[in-house]
Amino acid sequence: MNNMSKNSCIIFSDLDGTLLCCDTYSFEGATPALEFLRKKNVPLVFCSSKTKAEIMHYRKKLNNYHPFISENGGAIFIPVGYKGFEVDYTRVEGDYWVIELGTRREVLLKALESVCARTVSKTRGFSDMNAEEVARLTGLPQEEARLALERHYSEPFFIMEGDPGAVLREIENMGLQWTSGGRFLHVIGRSDKGRAVRLLSDIYKNNARDINWITIGCGDSLNDLPMLKAVDKAVLLKNLRGVYDPGVRVPGLLYEENGPAGWGEAVLRLIQQYGPTD
Ligand SMILES: [Mg+2]
C-alpha cells in the first residue's frame, strides 16, 4: 500500500443465522449498520447457501445492488457493468455476469444416490421435497421455500438411515465435498465459499487499485469456514443453538453475539476501525 491509497472494506456475509435471524429470517437490528454501509458506499456481498432466486429476493428487500455468491460458492453473480469493472465471466444471465464455479446439481444428485447405495443408507434432500415440506423444516414462508428449491450447484439433505460418518466419507471419496449450514448437510463440488470470496476479492483489487481493500467475513456455521479463512478479518456469530460452532477455527477470529444485532455491532466496529474514513 502506498500513502496515497485509501482504505475501504468489502463485507462478505452469510445470510441465515448471521445477517438474518435463524428463526424469523428478519434483519431487524442490523438496520443502523446497513444504513452506515450504504452511506459509506461499502460493498456488502451476500455469500450464502441460498439460491440465486432467494438471494435476489433479499437483495431487493435490503436494497442491495452489489455482487453476490450463491449456493455455498457455486456461482458468483455480478451486476452487468458493476462499477465499470472488467470481469472474466462464464456467461450473462439476465442483468448479471455469472462466474460458474460449482458442480451441476444433476451430477451431485447422482453421486448422492450412489453414496447411499454403497453405504446402505438413506438420505432425504430438497429434490425429494416440495415447498410445503421445505417451509415446515426451515420456517421459511412457502413462497420463499419455493425459491429455495431452484437449486443448481448444491443439494441440502439429511441422513435418515445409516452411518453418517460413512456417508460423509463416501462423498469425499467421490471427489465431492460436504458441509453444514446449521439445519442441513449440503453436498457440493470442489467449489466453496472461500474460493468464490477469493476470486471476487481479486476482482475488486484488480479493478480498483487505488483502494487498499480490507476484506471482512461474517458467518455462523461450518459452511462459512472457507469464507472466514479467505478474508482479512473474520467474525463468527453464535449459531442457531446459541453456541459458537466448534468446527470453525481461524487465527484471529472475532466472536460476536448471534443474529442481526450482533452482526451490526461487529460490522460497525470493523468499519470504524478499517475505513473508509471519509
Ligand atoms: Mg448461516
**Could you tell me the distance, in angstroms and rounded to a whole number, from the CA of residue 187 to the centre of ligand 1?**
16
CA–CA distance, 220 with 191 (Å, rounded to integer): 19
Rounded (5°) CA angle 93-98-101: 135
Among the candidates 156, 188, 220, a domain finishes at 188
Quote the pLDDT of residue 181: 86
**Could you tell me the distance, in angstroms and rounded to a whole number, from the CA of residue 262 to the centre of ligand 1?**
14
212: left (phi over 0), alpha (psi -120 to 50) or beta: beta
Residue 191 sits at φ, ψ, to 5 deg, of: -85, 155
Name the 3-class secondary structure at 188.
strand
Ion ligand 1 nearby residues (CB, 5 A):
14, 16-17, 220-221
Among the candidates 158, 188, 218, a domain finishes at 188
CA–CA distance, 155 with 109 (Å, rounded to integer): 7
Per-residue pLDDT tens digits for 191-244: 999 999 999 999 999 999 999 999 999 999 999 999 999 999 999 999 989 999
Single-letter amino acid, residue 276: P
Mean pLDDT in the chain?
Answer: 95
**What does the DSSP 8-state code read for residue 73?**
G
Q: Which candidate, 147, 58, 62, 155, places its Cα nearest to that of 105? A: 155
Same structural domain, 67 and 199: yes
**What does the DSSP 8-state code read for residue 103?**
P
Q: How many CB atoms lie within 10 A of CB 225?
A: 23
Q: Read off the CATH number of the domain in which 48 is found.
A: 3.40.50.1000
Choosing from 14, 16, 220, 245, the catalytic residue is 14
State mean pLDDT over 108-127.
Answer: 97
Same structural domain, 20 and 95: yes
- 1, part of any domain: no
Quote the pLDDT of residue 3: 54
**Does the pLDDT at position 250 exceed 60?**
yes
**Could you tell me the distance, in angstroms and rounded to a whole number, from the CA of residue 9 to the centre of ligand 1?**
21
State mean pLDDT over 25-48.
Answer: 96
**Does the pLDDT at position 2 exceed 70?**
no
Return the sign of the alpha-carbon dihedral for residues 192, 67, 201, 90: positive
Q: Which candidate, 69, 75, 77, 22, places its Cα nearest to that of 47? A: 69
Residues 6+ apart with CB under 8 A from 209: none
Of the ranges 18-27, 169-178, 225-234, which one carries the lowest mean pLDDT score?
18-27
Q: Residue 146: in which H helix or E strand, if any?
A: helix 142-148
Same structural domain, 69 and 181: no
**Does the pLDDT at position 161 exceed 50?**
yes
Same structural domain, 213 and 243: yes
Query: Is the CB of residue 126 less than 8 Å from the CB of residue 152?
Result: no
Same structural domain, 133 and 20: no
**Domain span including residue 85:** 6-101+192-274
Single-letter amino acid, residue 177: Q
Quote the pLDDT of residue 240: 87
State mean pLDDT over 180-188.
Answer: 92
Among the candidates 162, 188, 214, a domain finishes at 188
| Portion of the chain with pLDDT greater than 70, in percent | 98
Same structural domain, 91 and 210: yes
| Annotated catalytic residue 14 | yes
Q: Read off the CATH number of the domain in which 180 is found.
A: 3.30.980.20
Quote the pLDDT of residue 1: 47
**Could you tell me the distance, in angstroms and rounded to a whole number, from the CA of residue 183 to the centre of ligand 1?**
9
**What does the DSSP 8-state code read for residue 64?**
-
Query: Which is higher by pLDDT, 276 or 108?
Result: 108
- DSSP bridge partners of 4: none
State mean pLDDT over 71-99.
Answer: 98
Same structural domain, 82 and 35: yes
CA–CA distance, 262 with 265 (Å, rounded to integer): 5
Give the total number of structural domains in the chain. Answer: 2
**Could you tell me the distance, in angstroms and rounded to a whole number, from the CA of residue 70 to the centre of ligand 1?**
13
Same structural domain, 11 and 53: yes
- The b-or-e profile of 131-145 (16+ CB within 10 A means b, else e) is beebbebbebeeebb
CA–CA distance, 26 with 18 (Å, rounded to integer): 10
Same structural domain, 216 and 165: no
Same structural domain, 156 and 212: no
CA–CA distance, 247 with 241 (Å, rounded to integer): 14
- pTM here? 0.96
Q: At which residue does the C-alpha cell 415447498 appear?
A: 131
Q: At which residue does the C-alpha cell 465435498 appear?
A: 177
